[in-house]
Amino acid sequence: MVMVKRLARGEVPVEETWNLDDLFPSVNAWEAELAAVEAGVPGVTAFRGKLAGGPGVLLACLEAAEALEVRLMRVGTYARLQFAEDGTSPVNQAAAARVGALAARASAELSFVSSEILELPEGTIERYLAQEPKLASFRRVLENLLEHKPHRLASETEAALAALGEVLSAPYNVYSRSKSADMEFDPFEAEAGASIPNSFALYESQYEQANDAGVRRRAFASFVRGLKRYQNTFAATFAAEISKNIVLARVRRHETATHLLLHSQQVPIETYSRILDTIQAELAPHMRRLAKLRQRVLGLDKLYYCDIKAPLTPEDGEAIGFDAASRMVLEALAVLGPEYGEIMRAAFQHRWIDRSDNIGKSTGAFCASPYGAHSYILMTWTGTMRCVFTLAHELGHAGHFMLAMRSQRAANTRPSMFFVEGPSTMNEVILGNHILARSDDRRARRQVIMQLLGTFHHNFVTHLLEGELQRHIYALAEKGIPVTAKLLGETKGKILEAFWGDTVAIDEGARLTWMRQPHYYMGLYPYTYAAGLTAAVAVNQRMRQEGSPAVDRWLQALKAGGALKPMDLMQLAGVDMTGPAPIKAAVAYVGSLVDQLEASF
């Protein structure tokens, strides 16, 4: 049999990799900065016990802490990106561990800043802001801190928790290291006796969307066997993450872990529940129609979970070159103006994007944007139209943070998690509508509609149902029910069955999908994809109706970074997320896409 070889990192063509030299020209330069950052901590701790000395002292302290955190972010990003490109490397593992340890030490040393600010007499911060105009750029930081005051602990306890940063992040670290360095999947057979390698990245970016049902199903069987070997380990890491948040919620005097995690997002629990409830109830009928259409068009006796992303026609699986995809994306995003376009071109011209497939590479896709540098995008390019939309998505994060970094100081760059997926999903919507507007070809339009529906499937189904699993599991854990692989699989299965009804066979592999995403270790992240896409649909409709004024409002929201609360950011962009109207409109748009797809067959 012929074995197709996956490349080691050193075998990957350099043009398919990102250029980390833009962060540090050499490992020695990184080592030197790592040591310098650690040596710089006393420059901030020198302010300990002095923040009651007046607004000038507070300003100097905040500026010193911010400068150190920017440098720490940069050395940390360098190490994390190296780990992401090859998690099997002991050198990369060690570097990531060293950065994690330094971050925990620095966080513990700097925890006095928040504690001392909150210990100031009532009204002191307001007086300082009035007396020192330069403190205005830290207003949001200070206001956010004051909102956390009811949940702050004694300064010694806060320092101890900060020092445990490495331990508290252990569930995510164990999960990600297992995926990248330990987990292996059996190769599966294709036609003519070929043996095809399998991996997390290859399955999710290529085989899951294969035209050939035999390839899809054999790849899925291999994938499921690999997942099963780790289900108890991953369940233990998931359980540890949940226990951590439940304990933190109790000690910080939050009603539940959900309240704790939403408090950091600055999102009311009513909004969180509305998004989960409304989309599941109103979207399910549309997605069931799509499932039935897929089963009919593909001529399948039964639609299994591994079939729900299968192309409807052979041309849906036609390969697209990276250069052609780049031109397509740049052309579509030109609507966002010259400054945004310049950022997009720089991403392609200066190797911001790591698109290879290699052993040890992190799965999925992400964008890292260290302040004062440029963004870095990781993905696995397999030449599908889905990859084109993923590329646009990650470029949306890059455009957002590059604009925010140009407009805001570091402390105000990062918005709430609730807003962060809006700019990325917006780019997918823009791309899809751009292609549709320029094509009268029925087959080409059908292909793009399928990709737009793929965007909604990913954000309104995959991620939203992850959010629903979190809601169920946290509620069970709060009652003292142990979180095990059996519980996770059974709960995930029930959620999928409730959503898909009898249109999709929910098998063992479907029940194991709780193992496939790292988002469970990032707070209540999964549901925010649906929030972002809801806002993106509403803003994009305004762009198509109003043109430049709507585009300008969107760019203002991107440039605002974290200077506003998430609901205010969305309001600035023209979307009121305090009610159900935008959610219902987004779901109705999905229904219209399914209508168009049904009519095309």
Across the range 332-340, mean pLDDT stands at 97
Are the C-beta atoms of 274 and 533 separated by less than 8 Å?
no
Q: What is the pLDDT of residue 6?
A: 79
| Residue 447 within a domain | yes
Q: pLDDT by residue (tens digit) across 80-125?
A: 999 999 999 999 999 999 999 999 999 999 999 999 999 999 999 9
**pLDDT for 361 beyond 70:** yes
What pLDDT does residue 180 have? 82
Instruction: Give me the CATH number covering residue 120.
Output: 1.20.140.70
Per the CB < 8 A criterion, the answer to whether 542 and 230 are in contact is no
Does pLDDT of 447 surpass 90? no
More confident residue, 438 or 492: 492
Assess contact for 548 and 242: CB atoms under 8 A: no
Concatenated DSSP letters for 92-118? HHHHHHHHHHHHHHHHHHHHHHHHHHH
Average pLDDT (500-527) is 96
For 377, the enclosing helix (H) or strand (E) is strand 376-378
In this predicted model, what pLDDT tens digit does every residue of 129-181 receive, in sequence order?
999 999 999 999 999 999 999 999 999 999 999 999 889 999 999 999 898 88
Q: Indicate whether 469 pLDDT > 80.
A: yes
| Residue 489 counted as domain residue | no
How many structural domains does the chain have?
A: 2
Share of the chain above pLDDT 90, in %: 87
Residue 49 lies in a domain: yes
- Determine, yes or no, domain membership for 291: no
Q: What is the mean pLDDT of residues 315-325?
A: 82
User: Which of 151, 168, 185 corresponds to the end of one domain?
Assistant: 168
Taking CA atoms, 391 is separated from 23, 196, 345, 398, in Å, by 22, 25, 13, 11
CATH of the domain at 414: 1.10.1370.30
Q: Is 202 domain-assigned? A: no
If one compares 353 and 600, the residue with the highest pLDDT of the two is 353
Where residue 1 falls among pLDDT bands split at 50, 70, 90?
very low
Contact 443, 313 (CB under 8 A): yes
Q: What pLDDT, on the 0 to 100 scale, is given for residue 301?
A: 93
Task: Give CA–CA dist 364/368, Å, rounded.
Answer: 13
Reported as a pLDDT band with limits 50, 70 and 90, residue 3 is: very low
Host H or E run for residue 187:
strand 185-189
Give the model's confidence band at 202: pLDDT under 50 very low, under 70 low, under 90 confident, else very high.
Answer: confident
- The mean predicted confidence, pLDDT, of the chain is 94
- Final residue of a structural domain among 137, 168, 199: 168
Reduce the secondary structure of 406-460 to three states and give it as a string: HHCCHHHCCCCHHHHCHHHHHHHHHHHHHHHHCCCCHHHHHHHHHHHHHHHHHHH
What pLDDT does 71 receive?
98
Neighbours of 441 (CB within 10 A): 9
Q: Is residue 50 part of a domain?
A: yes
Specify the pLDDT at position 95: 96
What's the pLDDT at 316? 61
| Range of the structural domain that residue 453 is part of | 315-458+529-599
Hey, what amino acid is at 412? N
Among 168, 203, 223, the domain-final residue is 168
pLDDT at 587: 96
Categorize the per-residue pLDDT at 205 as very low, low, confident or very high, splitting at 50, 70 and 90: confident
Q: What mean pLDDT do residues 48-63 have? A: 97
pLDDT of residue 319: 82
| 320: helix, strand or coil | coil
Q: What amino acid is encoded at 342 in this protein?
A: E
Q: What's the per-residue H, E or C state across 25-78?
A: CCHHHHHHHHHHHHHHCHHHHCCCCCHHHCHHHHHHHHHHHHHHHHHHHHHHHH
pTM for this one? Answer: 0.90
* pLDDT attached to residue 2: 38
Complete edge-to-edge strand list for the sheet that includes strand 376-378: 353-354, 376-378, 366-368
Domain membership of residue 69 (yes or no) is yes
For residues 111 and 154, is the Cβ–Cβ distance under 8 A?
no
Range scoring the smallest mean pLDDT among 142-151, 166-175, 316-325, 470-479: 316-325
Q: Is residue 513 part of a domain?
A: no
